[in-house]
Amino acid sequence: MHLKNDLSRKLRVQFPIIQAPMFGISTPEMVAAANNSGCLGSLALADLPAEKSLDQIHKTKKLTNRDFAVNIFLHKIPEINNKLKSDFSETRNFLEDLALRNKIHADLPDFEDIKINSYHEQIDTVIAEKCKILSFTFGNPDAESILKLKNNDVLLIGTFTSVEEAVQLENSGIDIICVQGWEAGGHRGSFTDENIPQIGGLSLLSQVFDSVKVPLIYAGGIYNAQTLKAAKDLGAMGFQIGSMLLASTESALQDFEKKRLQKVRENEIIVTKSFSGRFARGIKNQFTETLDQSPFILPYPYMNKLTGALRTAAREVENAEFVNLWLGQSIQKYSEDSTEDILKNFIKNCELL
């Protein structure tokens, strides 16, 4: 199977394969290793403040002299009111009690400690650092930001989960769009955080191919040459790989988390709002089962900020029942080889098909 195409030339890479931006998992080292394999590395910045985003960009630049994608979240900031503050306090109390009952000692933040950052600051950092590829999820940048980025020759990659979202991205001038199938691990890239589209990846890919003209990247369920070929046959020009790299040498996951991956069963992979307040696909555990049946889930990003300290404390005691392990639906052998070797071997198998 021949992989090189117009998209690989547009991205200035050897192969049109993108290492997925997985915040909390992908690292500057993973980005550089992906670049070394001839693929496009992606630096996940999520909603980090500008100074921390800058630090991660600098660390990555020290490891690779090739272009890499910077990925950010375009979340909507909830209105601050008395109800949000009251709900926050109740959820905080519930989580503190839950943690203590499970022998996890976490210092959870107060509402006043939560700082919500605007993606506009990250965009300014991307431009100042002359990063040439920006990918994003949870929506579409405002028109002024798109114009600013394009005036600075930044290639834009948007994420979508429905035909309607794909058309919105194309109409706003986004250069490349990424089809996120329902099978994909991690946060759903939907423009909304409620009533999210639940469309199977290949079905969505086929429909979008008939609806837009911009190049398509496919993400969700790719774990071998055959699944990549299926996406290619349905019109994808690029292929985003995430779960395959979860246990790699460069992954930020700890050993106990990697061991949990090796034991996962198909009925343990769920979609949950429990950790962040937005839907994400990952491994079911005590925390997800408890929170998903409770009234204590705040809107993103407040839930995400509140549970961050709890997850950190759970990792310190290696308690897999209270950490988020985002994972796609296609169970596989999660190799602990380097990202570079995993991707090179994957590409070799694709070319032999």
Domains and CATH numbers, the chain: 1-77+116-248+335-353 (3.20.20.70), 79-115+254-324 (no CATH)
CB atoms near residue 101 (< 10 Å): 8
pLDDT digits (tens, 9 = 90+) for 114-123: 999 889 999 9
Task: Give pLDDT, residue 197.
Answer: 94
The Cα 29–Cα 43 span in angstroms is 10
**pTM, to two decimals:** 0.96
Using 50, 70 and 90 to split pLDDT, how confident is the model at 77? confident
Q: Are 340 and 32 in contact (CB under 8 A)?
A: no
pLDDT digits (tens, 9 = 90+) for 225-273: 999 999 999 999 999 999 999 999 999 999 999 999 999 999 999 999 9
Task: Give pLDDT, residue 76.
Answer: 85
Total residue count of the chain as it appears in this document: 353
75 has a pLDDT exceeding 90: no
CA distances from 159 to 69, 137, 141, 179, 279 (A): 13, 5, 11, 6, 15
The whole-chain average pLDDT of the chain stands at 97
Q: Minimal CA–CA distance to 6: which of 175, 146, 153, 226?
A: 175
Q: Are 42 and 68 in contact (CB under 8 A)?
A: yes
Q: Which residue has the tokens 């403040």?
A: 49
CA distances from 241 to 101, 148, 267, 290 (A): 38, 29, 22, 31
CB atoms near residue 107 (< 10 Å): 9
Q: Are 172 and 149 in contact (CB under 8 A)?
A: no
Task: Give pLDDT, residue 169.
Answer: 98
350 has a pLDDT exceeding 90: yes
pLDDT digits (tens, 9 = 90+) for 126-158: 999 999 999 999 999 999 999 999 999 999 999
